[in-house]
Structure 1
Amino acid sequence: MSPLYARHKRTTLAVATAVAAGALLSTGLTTSASAQTPAESGARHLAAAPTALSAAARTSLIQQAQADAAGTARSIGLGAKEKLVVKDVVKDADGTLHTRYERTYAGLPVLGGDLIVHTAKSGRTEGVTKANKAAVKVASLKPQITAAKAEKQAVSAAKTLGSAKSTADGARKVIWAGSGKPVLAYETVVGGLQDDGTPNQLHVITDAATGKKLFEYQGIENATGTGKTLYSGTVSLSTNLSGSTYQLYDTTRGGHKTYNLAHGTSGTGSLFTDADNVWGTGAASSSSTDQTAAADAAYGAQETWDFYKNTFGRSGIKNNGVGAYSRVHYGNSYVNAFWDDSCFCMTYGDGSSNTHPLTSLDVAGHEMSHGVTSNTAGLNYSGESGGLNEATSDIFGTGVEFYANNASDVGDYLIGEKININGDGTPLRYMDKPSKDGGSADYWSSSVGSKDVHYSSGVANHFFYLLSEGSGAKTINGVSYNSPTYNGAAVTGIGRAKALQIWYKALTTYMTSTTNYKAARTATLNAASALYGSTSTEYKTVAAAWTAVNVN
């Protein structure tokens, strides 16, 4: 689950998350945003940068990889009972292929068994990145506990999140390889709603031999007409004319549509339509028919699509040219936003008093980037991998905001600064010094993985800021920053454009579902080496930035 911020701390967050004492002082050092914005695509000429694939080319590569899957499984040393299922293929400009696979064992899904095979243009396998290096082998496929016991445990876990469901949606046998030695297990899913109205899709993994709960995570992952938006000013929106009625339907970006839930919590709702193709008023309204939130949501979707397309050559969240859809006016005074893979949709609440919708640009980029993560590395939404999942959304949400180059919402390294969740005008998160939000970690420690993922994400957010901009005091687009380092050493940034390319390549070709901070360091160094060379300034700065946040 990835709503914008931690579910169990929402009440206190809204009133008590404070900025650390002491204002940051400007040194007069200013970095121009416009100098980096178009350059986000500057790494496209690099041999190891991903190349844009047509839908037909991507499908062909996936089909070919699946046809060769049995041979691939043998060549990388998998057992006779293991099979590979292709999830995605990324092709670099130099012809290198990075094929992402899910795995089965005796016909059962292997959760945490995902892997990436890296193949040179010549066809030679250059390496394999595995979520779990342990051999997948279990003594018996016969459970020692019943599925009903596993379901009962899952329902109990869901109730702690406020779910009123008394039954699970079912349990299936799986091999759990998310950590340690692979074992036979049950995966049980419990639906319904959490106590604050967020949809519940709790996945509980139970050891099929002992009944011990091994893992749990949420499957819900927290976000040309004229749009008069609340947060981004007056913008252009791609719409569709049907007869004499305009629809908030973007046929140029995979068919993205914006729907009105009118304070409901299920279904699609109704597609927004209009007679004059002018959407919203630029002001918040508690009306369930308000178009302003819809205009913000549609704008956020189109900028996120364009950011991924023009920066990385990625065509939509799944890289298949198909757009997600957005729903606004979810629930009643619902103070959150979330991405849901099961509907392939983005959902926004209207905030306190139904007049503070969570539809700002960086929130949209953040939430839809959860979909990108789900369809690439699939970072488990728990522990350190969950923190990396959240940070990835903060990183790309920030990228979207800078990419849009919108005068009403200029690019910054603050998260949620427009939506005022705290009620005092402060941002939800700070990338230069994450601990300023009162809960996030600036540096890695052995206890980081036990934090809520919205706070353990601070380590990666801090890394990304240092990699992009460097340490110390500076002012960027009128915002003052002062980023410290764990070891006291100064870091000189390589620029946001290169930092984004490195993080994206690491996510799409080197990270897996179980990647932790140590493995993220390795993944980003691999990405920097592939893009810029192992002796490059970029590679050395990646290493220095991780050391600066105590990841060695």
Structure 2
Amino acid sequence: MKSLTKQQRISAFAATAALLVAGITAGTATAGSSAEDSGMRAGATAMKLSAAQKTALIKKADTAKVKAADAKALGLGSKEELRVKDVVKNKDGATHVRYARTFDGMPVLGGDLVVHKSKSGEHTGVTKGTKADVAVSTKGVKASAKPATPKAKGSKAPRQVVFALEGKPVLAWETVEGGTQKSGAPNQLHVITDAKTGKKIFEFQGIHEADGTGASMYSGEVQLTTDGADGKFTLSDASRGGSKTTNLENGESGDGKDFTDEDNKWGTGKPEDAQTAAVDAHYGAMQTWDFFKDVFKREGIAGDGKGAPSRVHYGDNYVNAFWDDSCFCMTYGDGEGNKAPLTSLDVAAHEMSHGVTSTTAGLVYAGESGGLNEATSDIFAAATEFHAPENKEDVADFLVGEEIDINGDGTPLRYMDKPSKDGNSLDEWSDQAGDVDVHYSSGIANHWFFLMSMGSGKSEKNGVEYDSPTSDGSTIEGIGITKAQEIWFKALTENMTENTDYKAAREATVKASNDLFGADSAETKAVEAAWTAVAVK
């Protein structure tokens, strides 16, 4: 695969700053109507589970007896084993058990599957990452085909895997190359090579980053949940799984140093004050947590009740922010000249949503699945903005990076109503979509989500005007962001797998809508019409 330029890798936004904060968070209400009064089948939505209940549910599903029964029902071979990754339980008692798969002890990349069960435990269906039989032979494997361990810091020795993300499953080596990317972000490039020929067959990046060039900070006054007492407060949030925000002090590793404050009033809104970036980061983590909990009953990014750390002041003049699965944390640079920390709300929600994707569908960060991965983060970033407390200085919208002027002319980085307005993103699908940088192929799903939420043609929300076209000239009636985000989340967590492409995403969202609203519902018809409007059929 060809390498990408810095401009091609641009995925995000950057900074606004928050000012004074209080020690106690004000409650927020979920935007939009409830499931009961919107026509949604409440029983098909996820049940609220405590961390202990979630752990117990996974433990129950991860027993040898249950896994053996599921493997038998699926017709898996004797060398195949299942490992529970996640379990979603709906209010009607139905469960969706997400499994990773191994073959002869080797991880199967793209072998993940979701087993759907009724309240009584009967199988009602299965969603598979690959429909091919996972059976590979070691015959013909040569020692010379095994790649060397990369020398860069943070690299990992090759491990043998079954590669099933594309086509017929093959025996392969997965090597993780460490070091640093050209943008300055840590590198976790997963390179897949054929175990028989040594030829590279696939690669994907483990660090999901957001490039920017810096921006002015503008957010207004926000409230933060902190810890401590008079004289020594810290940016720790026990009410959100122990989330905390720390100071890397321009370092590039470690957990960072705790921020402390005497009067619990943080930052000045100016980048020269080290607390200002921390205010935005902490606020972003709070709002992202609240969005997933309030809307989807998911506590924490991984759904395990644990907070995800945020680290600010990474590196020197670092114009970037990134999510890292290995530490399950968010990291923010200070931008151009260390004067524009990349800590705005949409950055936080976008990047932390990568963690939600990695612990659910696990959409591989390459090809069409990579575009869907990026779109998921844009979708939930927009949804988080609409769920957060009203901010007249940074209104909720369907624009990406609208506050940062990354282009230098006052325009947003990305537009969900017409993605091609940024000069790179795709408005609609074509057979070349899988070859486009994931930050631009994401435009297809972003456009679908806008059409689902707002409809086609001219519209306005919170004073922001939109004009969304369709590829077939059709007119789409939006169903609102509340229903659209429910459909996307249910599809992501129950019906998508590591190598889901756009066609499969259509199938996954149709199934999700059928479950939530009914097969002949106006919502399902809107799902299908919106996909057709972006040329996904």
Determine if the TM-score, normalized by the shorter chain, exceeds 0.5.
yes
**How far 1:261 moved relative to its partner?**
1.2
Aligned residues of 2:281 and 2:310 also touching (Cα < 8 A): yes
Gap change, CA 1:498 and 1:167, over 3 Å in 2 = closer
The equivalent residue for 2:383 is 399
Instruction: Tell me the equivalent position of 1:459.
Output: 444
The answer on whether the counterparts of 2:207 and 2:325 sit within 8 Å (CA) in structure 1 is: yes
Contact 2:30 2:295 in 1 (8 A): no
Does the CA-based 8 Å contact 1:230-1:296 persist in structure 2?
no
Deviation at 1:348, TM superposition (A): 1.0
Structure 2 partner of 1:97:
95
2:135 is the alignment partner of 1:150: no
Q: Alignment length, in residue pairs? A: 509
Structure-1 residue corresponding to 2:193: 206
Matches within 5 A, 1:453-492: 453-492=438-477
Q: How does 1:70-219 map to 2 (within 5 A)?
A: 70-140=68-138, 143-146=141-144, 149-151=146-148, 155=150, 165=152, 168-219=155-206
Aligned twin of 1:46: 42
Task: Give how far 1:284 is off.
Answer: 2.8
- Give the whole-Å Cα distance in 2 for the aligned partners of 1:514 and 1:277: 46
What is the rounded CA distance, in whole Å, between the counterparts of 1:305 and 1:166 in structure 2? 32
Structure-2 separation of matches of 1:40 and 1:143: 57
- Whether the aligned pair in 1 keeps the contact of 2:233 and 2:264 (CA below 8 Å) is yes
**TM-score, normalised with respect to structure 2:** 0.91
Q: Does 1:495 align with 2:480?
A: yes
Instruction: Say whether residues 1:331 and 2:347 are aligned partners.
Output: no
Q: Is the 8 A contact 1:260 1:271 kept in 2?
A: yes
Judge which range, 266-275 or 375-384, deviates more: 266-275
Q: Deviations over 1:3-59 (max 9, x none)?
A: xxx862179999xxxxxxxxxxxxxxxxxxx99824376678611111111222211
- Contact 1:401–1:409 (CA under 8 A) maintained in structure 2: no
CA distance in 2, matches of 1:13, 1:186: 29
The 1:70/1:378 distance shift into structure 2, 3 A limit, reads: same
Show structure 2 runs of 5+ residues with no match. Answer: 13-27, 211-215
User: Among residues 295, 299, 315, which one is paired with 2:283 in the alignment?
Assistant: 299
Q: Does 1:410 align with 2:404?
A: no
- For the Cα contact (< 8 Å) 1:41–1:312, is it kept in 2? no
Offset from partner CA, 1:412-460 (integer Å, 9 cap, x none): 0000111222222211100000000010000000111111100000000
Of 207, 228, 244, 1:257 maps to 244
The aligned residue for residue 280 of structure 1 is 267
Matched, 1:517 2:511: no
> 1:208-266 deviations in whole A, cap 9, x for unaligned?
0111111111111237xxxxx94331111000006731001111101111011122211
Q: How far, CA to CA, are the matches of 1:11 and 1:389 in structure 2?
A: 14
1:230–1:292: 8 Å Cα contact kept in structure 2?
A: no
Partner of 2:422: 437
Query: 1:19 maps to what in 2?
Result: none
Contact kept? 2:496, 2:505, Cα under 8 Å: yes
2:246 partner SS:
strand
Q: CA RMSD in A?
A: 2.2
- The one-character-per-residue Cα deviations of 1:301-339 (angstroms, maximum 9, x if unpaired) are 000000000000000011010000001111222222110
3-state SS of 1:170 partner: strand
Partners in 2 of 1:257 and 1:35 — Cα distance? Answer: 23
Question: Which of 327, 332, 336 is equivalent to 1:348?
Answer: 332
Q: Which consecutive residues of structure 1, in runs of 5 or more, have no partner in the other structure?
A: 1-5, 15-33, 156-163, 224-228
Verify the 8 A CA contact 1:202 1:218 in the aligned structure 2. Answer: yes
Return the TM-score normalized by structure 1: 0.89
Contact 1:191 1:201 in 2 (8 A): yes
> Structure 1 residues 35 and 329, CA, compared in 2 at 3 Å: closer, same or farther?
closer
d(CA) in 2 for partners of 1:207, 1:422: 41
2:493 to 499, 508, 525: 508
In structure 1, the residue matched to 2:299 is 315
How far, CA to CA, are the matches of 2:411 and 2:128 in structure 1?
40
**SS of alignment partner, residue 327 of structure 1:** strand
1:342-387 C-alpha deviation (Å, 9 max, x unpaired): 0110011111111111111111110000000000000000000000
- Aligned partners of 2:453, 2:339: CA distance in 1, in Å? 35
